[in-house]
Homo-oligomer: A and B are copies of this chain.
Amino acid sequence: MNQTNKSPLQQTAPPLYQVNKPYVTASFEIKYHQIIDADGAVVGPIPDFARQPEQLIKLYQAMYLTRQFDHKAILLQRRGQLGTYASSLGQEAIGTAIGYTMQADDVLLPAYREYAAQFLRGVSMTEILLYWGGNEQGMNFQAQKHDFPINVPIASQTSHAVGVAYAMQLRQQARVAVCVLGDGATSKGDFYEAINAAGNWKLPVVFVINNNHWAISLPRQKQSHAKTLAQKAIAAGISGEQVDGNDVIAMQFRLDKALNKARNGHGPSVIEALSYRLGDHTTADDATRYRSKDELEQNWKYEPLSRLHHYLTNMGYWSKHHDQQLEKNTQHLVESAVQEYLNTPAQAPESMFDYLYQSLPESLQEQRQSVIQRHQGHA
């Protein structure tokens, strides 16, 4: 518990400064972290967990699964079997590191590109497909009771994270809320209000900015004149840093530090994960309207899977044979999720009333009945 119980009456406003020349009252710096570079070369100290091949392989598999899932989802959308879909292509390391690092009873509050994290936390691929397939059951996670569903109104999940973290702190639980948002989301007041409040109460919350350098058609540079997004944390008086978001090892390492810090009562952090959106914004978008081919190609060099693949191969942890096996296993997993999704019956029309309130008010019973009748009329 870090909450001060001092009454404001005991708090005196700071006296005005009495100095005789321009005087530095505060200074800050923003650091950048990377461990494995784009070629798979080691450029920073390898953390302990990453000395265990099976751990790295787990990360690789998770990223790979997410990429294959993504690919499949886009195909489904093209075939008219899925609604608009937001791919996480190129940003798989962020979600993977988050899902890997969080503890089971932590709470994830994602935007809509953190499938990797969600899968590692027990959300099923079927559920994600149901969501984008227009079925609310996709938010009724069967194996994950506390996490928030995908969040579409940009940045609005950030204050939920503050509330979740507040509840954890109040109950003296060693749990952490992890909130993910995009670079575009950092322009919205919600984000700022949330980090500021998190700082005030030293809450156990970590804000991860998936800086994929685009917010639909607006490039990161036009979103804010701030040199880094991490420095937005300074406004809230909390720590902020940049991490190579395509380096899953660095991401895991820095996230782990931030989560431990939060868990131990030392307050919130902002992590700006530098990545790149290699796909369109969603399947409803056409990025060629606003983004050069050149830029896209250039950024493919930094993508997270091949980088870890290089490293694993270099270290002798991985071979062609593993590739084949992983491909086959993953294909199977994705295919069965797709089948399950396609076989899921639509919800009954009257379900639109069944979760509106815990029990439906008398005055709405008639409307619920009329949905049923109308449906029977159609059938």
Q: Find the residue from A16, A187, A224, A299 having the highest chain B CB count within 10 A.
A: A16
Instruction: Say yes or no: B199 contacts A225, CB within 8 Å.
Output: yes
> A231 with B226: in contact, given A43-B20, A290-B8 (CB under 8 Å)?
no
A295 CB within 8 Å of chain B: yes
Selecting from A73-81, A121-129, A139-147, A236-244, the interface stretch reads A236-244
The B-contacting residues of A in range 176-214, CB under 8 angstroms, are: 187-193, 196-197, 199-200, 202, 213-214
A30 CB within 8 Å of chain B: yes
Instruction: Tell which of B26, B189, B234, B295 touches A189, judged by Cβ atoms closer than 8 Å.
Output: B189
Instruction: Say yes or no: A244 contacts B17, CB within 8 Å.
Output: yes
Q: Nearest-CB distance from A358 to chain B (Å)?
A: 31
Smallest CB-CB separation from A294: which chain B residue? B12
A24 CB within 8 Å of chain B: yes
A152 CB within 8 Å of chain B: no
> A28 with B25: in contact, given A9-B292, A246-B16 (CB under 8 Å)?
no
Smallest CB-CB separation from A277: which chain B residue? B13
Q: Find the residue from A192, A200, A221, A295 having the highest chain B CB count within 10 A.
A: A192
A38 CB within 8 Å of chain B: yes
Which residues of B have CB within 8 Å of A234?
Answer: 28, 226, 231, 234-235
**Count of chain A residues with a beta carbon within 8 Å of a chain B beta carbon:** 77
Which residues of B have CB within 8 Å of A27?
Answer: 27-30
Instruction: Tell which of B10, B19, B29, B224 touches A200, judged by Cβ atoms closer than 8 Å.
Output: B224
Q: Nearest-CB distance from A40 to chain B (Å)?
A: 13
Which residues of B have CB within 8 Å of A217?
Answer: 8
24 A–B contacts, CB within 8 A, in A order: A8-B218, A8-B291, A11-B221, A12-B295, A13-B213, A17-B32, A17-B274, A18-B43, A20-B37, A20-B44, A22-B32, A22-B44, A25-B30, A25-B31, A25-B242, A26-B29, A27-B27, A187-B193, A188-B189, A188-B193, A196-B224, A196-B226, A200-B222, A226-B236
The B-contacting residues of A in range 228-263, CB under 8 angstroms, are: 228, 230-232, 234-238, 242, 244, 246
Instruction: Say yes or no: B26 contacts A219, CB within 8 Å.
Output: no
